Amino acid sequence: DEESPSIIVHPDHKVAKINDNIYGGFTEHMGRCIYGGIYDPGNPLSDEIGFRKDVIDAMKDLNVPVVRYPGGNFVATYHWLDGVGPRENRPKRPELAWLGLEPNTFGTDEFMKWCEVVGTEPYLCLNFGTGTLDEALAWLEYCNSAQDTYYANLRRKNGREEPYNVKYWALGNECWGPWQVAQLTKEDYAKKAYQWAKSLKLLDPSIVLILCGETGYSSWDYYVLKECVTWSVHGLGGDRTKSLIDMHSIHIYTADKEHMANATAPRGAERAIQMASALIDLARIENGVPETVPRQTICFDEWNVWDPIRAPGELGAEEKYTLSDAIAVSVFLNGFIRQAKDLGMANIAQSVNVISPLITTKDGIVKQTIWWPLLLFSKYMRGHSIAVNVRAPEYTGRTNPAWIRATIETPYLDVSASISDDGYVSLAVANLSEEKAFDVKVEGVKKGEVKVYMVDGENVDVANTADEQKVGIKESSWDGVGKFRFGKHSFTLLRWKA
């Protein structure tokens, strides 16, 4: 009937290319992310370098394309030179972001090696706190230069002949935050970012530079974009085929104690992408940036469900995830697919132990609830996003933040769809309702063999532990005939050959 829920998939209507980098990771020197997470020398589960093999396998399963490093807030007092060369000469330093002690036994070369083993690309964040432009240039030279110069030779001396060719570089992290060791005003930041961008691109014009934004919809975002979105400033009159900065970074963590507010919160993150992308357009218009300059994309380089108050462990960082959070994560990811046109990269914060789908113990790894939708998206939601129409009852209760429902719909069924390069259609459906299953007519589905991958559980509070995995993926198939039942509080991915 007219009112019953329906989904219409349009495999022939491609909306935008999905950038593989939206499945990026993030490893910060924070809590047990590096030490005891990806790096755990002496543990029988580690290789001869000290890399945890179970973590590497998980990263490979997830097919993580890019990993951000070394922070986060940590980077604001990080001097990269402390972390290279013979270990016995590396200084221990007080660490001011998380008030710990940084041993520097894991640094640039270890991270690069780890990326190589995992098969992922490094993305480095520069120290905009206590760091200098000289240091940043030296780091870029160390990583990327093939010339006979001091820092390139230092890299060779440390055992690496070929440049690492690190493509992605961020101009600081959350420089607006009152928690920063050296917080900046938007005016000071924009001036500094512009200068650094100019110099860094002189040294290596091939890099992708990421500007430090806030939520995507603040006056900080508007101001720094307005000051820095321009064409390359190199050469007389500049080069109007290249941009000075290439991406704009935003960060959003969501959480709520009540399930529906928790599960709908990531719709605010989707709205943030739309708003940030409008600010990019506005800056380009106001600055008269010609179309020949590639349009800046959004780098959502920290996202996840995180409530530091409820998270146990050191620094309130070892968040324990429930089924409700897994549904929230699938809503985040659906939003990324729907906004694929504007999203150049996204990095779940973080990859291991700290606010993470993966928790290491000394003798194994726990895959938390949020791991499973992330795995399904990363495996199947690649290629192009495609058009999809959804009719589903609208949630009208409280949302967090409160403004979500005024600006973007919050139906109980949250949906996105994609088509892979080899012609497989994937339909991702989160049923947010705690009470109701929905029987849905799916138009555009191919009758015959539809693969079904389902993530659900007894109730929205269930979680996985080292002893028991209550939430995982259930596989089955459907003939595509009649209605499909999306169970209450579940995430389902349907997949068929177009």
Q: DSSP label at 289?
A: -
Residue 414 within binding range of ligand AHR, rule CB under 6 A: no
Residue 95 within binding range of ligand AHR, rule CB under 6 A: no
Residue 115 vs residues 28, 56, 142, 148: alpha-carbon distances, Å:
14, 9, 17, 25
Stretch in the footprint of ligand AHR (CB under 6 A) among 2-10, 67-75, 153-161, 370-378: 67-75
Residue 67 vs residues 64, 152, 237, 406: alpha-carbon distances, Å:
7, 23, 35, 35
Residue 73 within binding range of ligand AHR, rule CB under 6 A: yes
Catalytic residue among 121, 227, 302, 319: 302
| Alpha-carbon torsion angle 400, 403, 404, 410, nearest 10 | 90
User: For the purposes of burial, counting CB atoms within 10 Å of the CB of 288, is it exposed (0-12), middle (13-18) or buried (19 or more)?
Assistant: exposed
Alpha carbons 498 and 488: distance in angstroms, whole number: 28
Stretch in the footprint of ligand AHR (CB under 6 A) among 58-66, 70-78, 389-397, 479-487: 70-78
Q: Name which of 346 and 450 has its Cβ closer to ligand AHR.
A: 346
Q: Across the chain, which distance is largest between two alpha carbons, in Å?
A: 73
Residue 72 within binding range of ligand AHR, rule CB under 6 A: yes
Minimum gap (Å) between residue 302 Cβ and ligand AHR? 5
Stretch in the footprint of ligand AHR (CB under 6 A) among 49-57, 71-79, 262-270, 362-370: 71-79
Residue 28 within binding range of ligand AHR, rule CB under 6 A: yes
String marking each residue 241-280 x if it binds ligand AHR according to CB under 6 A = ----------------------------------------
String marking each residue 315-354 x if it binds ligand AHR according to CB under 6 A = ----------------------------------xx----
Strands (E), 231-379: 231-232, 239-243, 247-254, 297-305, 343-348, 358-361, 364-367
Q: Name which of 174 and 414 has its Cβ closer to ligand AHR.
A: 174
247-254 and 208-212 beta bridge pairing? parallel
Alpha carbons 128 and 189: distance in angstroms, whole number: 9
Side chain identity at residue 490, one-letter code: S
Residue 129 within binding range of ligand AHR, rule CB under 6 A: no
To which residue do tokens 């321009």 refer?
230
Helix (H) or strand (E) holding 48: none
Q: Name which of 306 and 478 has its Cβ closer to ligand AHR.
A: 306
Binds ligand AHR by CB under 6 A, chosen from 302, 325, 342, 414? 302
Q: Is 174 labeled as catalytic in the residue annotation?
A: yes
Specify whether the CB–CB gap between 371 and 47 falls below 8 A.
no
Minimum gap (Å) between residue 368 Cβ and ligand AHR? 16
Catalytic residue among 121, 174, 214, 319: 174
Q: Is 110 labeled as catalytic in the residue annotation?
A: no
Alpha carbons 386 and 12: distance in angstroms, whole number: 7
User: For the purposes of burial, counting CB atoms within 10 Å of the CB of 363, is it exposed (0-12), middle (13-18) or buried (19 or more)?
Assistant: exposed
Q: Which residue is nearest to ligand AHR (CB)?
A: 72
Q: Name which of 239 and 307 has its Cβ closer to ligand AHR.
A: 307
Minimum gap (Å) between residue 22 Cβ and ligand AHR? 18
Nearest residue to 224 (alpha-carbon basis) of 185, 255, 196: 185
String marking each residue 167-186 x if it binds ligand AHR according to CB under 6 A = ------xx------------
Side chain identity at residue 464, one-letter code: N
Q: Name which of 221 and 456 has its Cβ closer to ligand AHR.
A: 221
Residue 127 within binding range of ligand AHR, rule CB under 6 A: no
Positions that interact with ligand AHR (CB under 6 A): 28, 30, 71-73, 173-174, 302, 349-350, 355
Catalytic (active-site) positions:
174, 302
